[in-house]
Amino acid sequence: MLSDYENAFGLYHYNVSKNFNFMIIKMKTLRFFLFPLLSGFLVLNPSALFSQIVADHTVVDEYDKIPQEYIDEVKKMWVIVAGESHSKGYRIGCQLLENIDPRFQVNIRESGTPDGYTDQNLRLSRATWGDYGNASGWIYNYGEEEWFTNATAISRTKAHLTYCNTNNLQIAAMGFGWCWDMTGNNWPAGTPDPVYHVRWAGRSEYGPEGSRRWGLDAGDFDLTGNSVSMDTYLNATNDYSNYCLANGYPTKIFYTTGPVDANENLGENGYQRHLKHNYIRQFVAADEERILFDYDDILCWNGNGERREVTWTDYGGFLQTFQAIHADNLLDMDGTYTEDGDHIGQRGALRLAKAMWWMLARMAGWDGEPLGLNQPEGDKFIRIQPNPVNDFLTIQIDNSSQAGNISVTDLSGRELLSKELFEATTEIDMRGFPDGIYIVKLQQKDNIELRKIVKN
């Protein structure tokens, strides 16, 4: 059993009694996990170390806790949010964030050939190689007709992924930046859905049946006359992710929810959009490897932790309460509003940017804790540099008077390296290790320290 548990953040520092074979670790989420100790080694459960990546309102204020090493990793990325007008909010927000905090350097490109690799700034754009109407050429406007509504769209997006990732323009992450596709052009009409008691709305440019209202799944065809549904978006996005994995591309595909602005969408139209957003969330939650940028949720809360809620009485006679964009997020930094193309205020765009940097840092390997598992705040017992590591890992220990042992394991608990430790500074050759995440364990008598490292 634990004789001393120290660390409000998680798996960082603890003392272990040798007389017990199990230990309990309390994670930041306040859940408890039971792990067996085999010959003094902690067998780690990866899910206890890394939670699913969901960027919603809860992470907006966490952006300034990103360790510098992961800020530096994000600055190596080219990220694409392919979309129409609303996608501009991501880009405007990231520029605003850089203006406020120069650590978060970004370069925005709105036309021409995308910038090549750099480690000086995040590269953010909506550029794609080709679109529905063009097999080649750089395009800076991308709608539902390019992402999911038809077979040509899907094939062109895959061709874009291949072109970039095989022509020295590796894409770190890509997602679809929704416009008013869930609500616009075709307002709620027809027969109410018998389950949700709402009529569906939306547009589906170049879909098999043209641009029509659409629902959640294939069963809604009888209500909308449209074979396009939210499942079409989800399946296409999942297909892109599998395509990148199958071809060895480093691109991480992320899911997104859509806009919540426009006052005329607060009633039935807003509610059916709310149902579509929840449907996306449920799909993402079904697989912990999926990543979500929750645009909707981020903008429904303000900086004071307040959420805006509205109501609508459905066709079953039930009063439905759901969230809508908070008025604060429709304002610029000075409290006024000027339309700059994204249909939200600077305050809202800035919230998007903070969540975006958090999400990208998590993609780069950050565990979400203020200093990561690699260097707990206020704990100088062990230092590991650099992290991420390419070749040699340097381990420094303040207390070298005790003999000890240092080991490196993978996330399954398999020990890959072990050596006795006597000196204050030790080097470990990581050149033969595959890229991935590893745990470094230092043990001196009853004291055990764990650190997460990223090899790339």
Q: What is the pLDDT of residues 370-411, one digit of tens each?
A: 755 444 444 445 678 888 888 899 888 766 556 788 889 887
Looking at the structure, do residues 108 and 244 belong to the same domain, yes or no? yes
pLDDT at residue 446, rounded to an integer: 66
Q: Which of 94, 56, 51 is nearest to 75 (CA)?
A: 94
Q: Which tokens sit at 364? A: 């780069």
**Shared-domain flag, residues 265 and 127:** yes
- Domain span including residue 168: 54-363
pLDDT band at 85 (very low <50, low <70, confident <90, very high): very high
CA 97 – CA 24 distance, rounded (Å): 40
Q: Enumerate long-range contacts of 216-222, CB under 8 Å, 24 or more apart.
A: 216/275, 216/276, 216/279, 220/193
Cβ atoms of 424 and 403 closer than 8 Å = no
Q: What are phi and psi of 59, to 5 degrees?
A: -105, -5
Same domain for 89 and 225: yes
- What number is the average pLDDT over the span 85-90? 96
In this model, does residue 43 exceed pLDDT 80? no
Q: How far apart are CA 275 and CA 322, in angstroms?
A: 9
Say yes or no: 44 and 58 in one domain.
Answer: no
Count up the domains in the chain and report the number: 2
Q: Which of 68-77, 231-240, 363-372 has the highest mean pLDDT?
A: 231-240
Tokens of 152: 């040509």
Work out the end-to-end distance of the chain between its first and last CA atoms, rounded to an integer number of angstroms: 36
Domain shared by 291 and 415, yes or no? no
Asked whether the predicted pLDDT for residue 21 surpasses 80, the reply is no
Report pLDDT for 158. Answer: 98
Predicted confidence band of residue 46 (pLDDT cuts 50, 70, 90): very low
User: Does 66 lie in the same domain as 44?
Assistant: no
pTM over 0.85: no
pLDDT at 400: 57
Instruction: Kindly report the CATH number assigned to the domain that includes residue 34.
Output: 2.60.40.3080
Looking at the fold, whether 442 and 319 belong to one and the same domain comes out as no
Q: Is 228 exposed, middle or buried (0-12, 13-18, 19+ CB in 10 A)?
A: buried
375 and 340 part of one domain: no
Q: Enter the DSSP assignment of 327.
A: G
At a CB cut-off of 8 Å and minimum separation 6, what does 102 contact? Answer: none
CB 161 within 8 Å of CB 131: no
Both 335 and 238 in a single domain?
yes
- Examine the fold and report which residue of 309, 337, 363 is the final residue of a domain before the chain moves on: 363
User: Between 456 and 177, where is the model more confident?
Assistant: 177
Q: What is the DSSP string of 2-61?
A: EEEEE-SSSTTEEEE-TT-SEEEEE-TTS-EEEEEEETTEEPP-HHHH----EESGGGGG
| Among 304, 337, 363, residue at a domain's last position | 363
pLDDT at 448: 74
Tell me the C-alpha distance between 354 and 298, whole Å. 10
Is 326 in the same domain as 178?
Answer: yes
Q: What is the number of other CB atoms lying within 10 angstroms of the CB of residue 103?
A: 15
One domain for residues 268 and 416: no
Strand ranges of the sheet holding 2-6, from the earlier edge strand across to the other edge: 2-6, 13-16, 447-455, 436-444, 404-410, 415-421
Q: Which residues contact 85 (CB under 8 A, 6 or more apart)?
A: 179, 341, 342, 343
- CA nearest 214: which of 148, 262, 154, 131? 148
Region 54-68: what's the mean pLDDT?
95
Domain boundary among 348, 363, 378: 363
Statement to judge: residues 164 and 191 lie in one domain: yes
Q: Please give the Cα distance from 256 to 252 (Å, whole number).
A: 13
Tokens of 232: 């079409």
Q: Which residue has the tokens 């370069």?
A: 107
